[in-house]
Amino acid sequence: MYKLIPLLLLTLAPLHAQLSVLCTTRDLADIASRIGGNAVRVEAMATGAQDPHRILAKPSGLLKLRRADVLIEMGLDLEHAWLPALLENAANERIAPGQPGFINASDGITPLEVPTTVDRSRGTDVHPRGNPHYNLDPEGGRTIARNIAKGLALVKPELKATLDANLRSFEADLDAKLKEWAPHFARLKGAKFVVRHGWFPYLAQRAGFTVIADLEPMAGLEPSPAHVAAVMDLIRREKPAALLVPPWKQDGITKRVASETGVRVLALPVGCTNDAPYATWLSWMDHLISALAAAVPEPAK
Ligand SMILES: [Zn+2]
């Protein structure tokens, strides 16, 4: 019987050796699964169908933080409203900021729209250190993947070769998609959109489209009737390709703007979700970029 024990331990070893990786968003979780492969067990705290600024910190979230070997955050203060307090509560040294088990996926991103002053009364507090939505950009995904590979290798140096190989495979897939997306970017160049919240500055810069107005006068602030009226005037004048809203903002304001101006509304997840066709970061980007391009009229011949 005792001879069986070492065998049993060997069989169980790979499972126990898996790192428990907790991610604040599904985008991070999907990319972490690609990079970590079988060496990681990944969970996400929110999907792209939820507002990442308002992730509800459930009691189960605290338990997950207590168990995790690694925590991956989007950074740029996307999680500033809820994560620091929860982390302090969890008191898990492995994932405390500054420890190898705390990975900030935004390392190396140059933030856009950095405010010069922070005035909480006007709503800038949801983007206090600039725009954190770099996951809506192909190159943002590459940065996330590289930071995760680097961070996991610090936690478990023996995984480095595997992580590097998985990173190369992810980047090869991304590069192939970038080639596929080139015609979409060509179509989007110079196109105009109106948005509801600043999800798109990174993608707009990459693809060359312009966001001519935001129904939020400042990040996180609901519009006044006067602001809505001004945006509707602009829509009538400039005829943007679409009004882009996240799934949870198909409300009275969006409907009114659509019915009074005739603008097309595109409601798209702002990160990957649990469901096809948005279930991986790459497949979600694929749908997002294709949908934006499809909204732009064919150039006149
Ligand atoms: Zn935001």
Q: Are residues 50 and 169 in the same domain?
A: yes
- Let me know whether 53 and 100 are in one domain: yes
User: Which residue, of 158, 173, 188, is where some domain finishes?
Assistant: 173
pLDDT at 299: 75
**Comparing C-alpha atoms, which of 186, 108, 118, 164 is closest to residue 141?**
108
What DSSP state is assigned to residue 135? T
| Same domain (yes/no): 155, 198 | no
In angstroms, what is the span from residue 219 Cα to ligand 1's centroid?
Answer: 6
Residue 45 lies in a domain: yes
Task: State whether residue 97 is helix, strand or coil.
Answer: coil
pLDDT string in tens for the chain (301-residue length): 445 545 444 444 455 589 999 999 999 999 999 999 999 999 999 887 888 888 766 778 899 999 999 999 999 999 988 899 999 999 999 999 999 999 999 999 999 999 887 555 555 578 988 999 999 999 999 999 999 999 999 999 999 999 999 999 999 999 999 999 999 999 999 999 999 999 999 999 999 999 999 999 989 899 999 999 999 999 999 999 999 999 999 999 999 999 999 999 999 999 999 888 999 999 999 999 999 999 999 876 6
Q: Are residues 93 and 197 in the same domain?
A: no
3-state secondary structure of 292: helix
Question: Using CA atoms, how far apart are residues 255 and 242, in angstroms rounded to an integer?
Answer: 13
Residue 269's φ and ψ, nearest 5 degrees, are -60, 145
Which amino acid is located at 250 in the chain?
Q
Reduced to 3 states, what is the DSSP secondary structure of residue 99? coil
Tell me the pLDDT tens digit for each residue of 123-164: 557 898 899 999 999 999 999 999 999 999 999 999 999 999
Q: How far is the CA of 246 from the centre of ligand 1 (A)?
A: 11
Q: What gap in Å lies between CA 170 and CA 149, rounded to an integer?
A: 11
Q: What's the Cα-to-Cα distance from 167 to each of 28, 34, 170, 232, 295, rounded to whole Å?
A: 14, 8, 5, 45, 33
Residue 52 covered by a domain: yes
> Under 8 Å CB-to-CB from 11, ≥6 apart: which residues?
none
pLDDT of residue 123: 52
Q: Please give the distance, rounded to the nearest whole angstrom, from the Cα atom of residue 129 to the centre of ligand 1.
A: 11
Q: Give φ, ψ of 46 to 5 degrees.
A: -155, 160
Ligand 1 centre to CA of 253 (Å) is 19
> Is residue 246 within 8 Å of 268, Cβ to Cβ?
yes
Q: Are residues 209 and 61 in the same domain?
A: no
- In tens, the pLDDT along 255-282 reads 999 999 999 999 999 999 988 899 999 9
Please tell me the predicted confidence (pLDDT) of residue 115. Answer: 85
148 and 50 both lie in a single domain = yes
Ligand 1 midpoint to CA 122 (Å): 14
Residue 121 confidence (pLDDT):
55
Largest CA distance in the chain: 82
User: In terms of domains, do 34 and 153 share one?
Assistant: yes
Instruction: Specify whether the CB–CB gap between 248 and 51 falls below 8 A.
Output: yes
Distance 211 CA to ligand 1 centre (A): 15
Question: Are 89 and 137 part of one and the same domain?
Answer: yes
Position 301 in a domain: no
Q: Same domain for 45 and 101?
A: yes
In a domain? residue 186: yes
The total number of structural domains in the chain stands at 2
pLDDT for position 116: 81
Residues 184 and 167 in one domain: no
Please tell me the distance between residue 112's alpha carbon and the centre of ligand 1 in angstroms: 12
The last residue of one of the domains, among 173, 201, 233, is 173
Task: Measure 88 CA to ligand 1 centroid, in angstroms.
Answer: 24
pTM of the model: 0.92
Spacing, Cα 198 to ligand 1 middle (Å) = 6
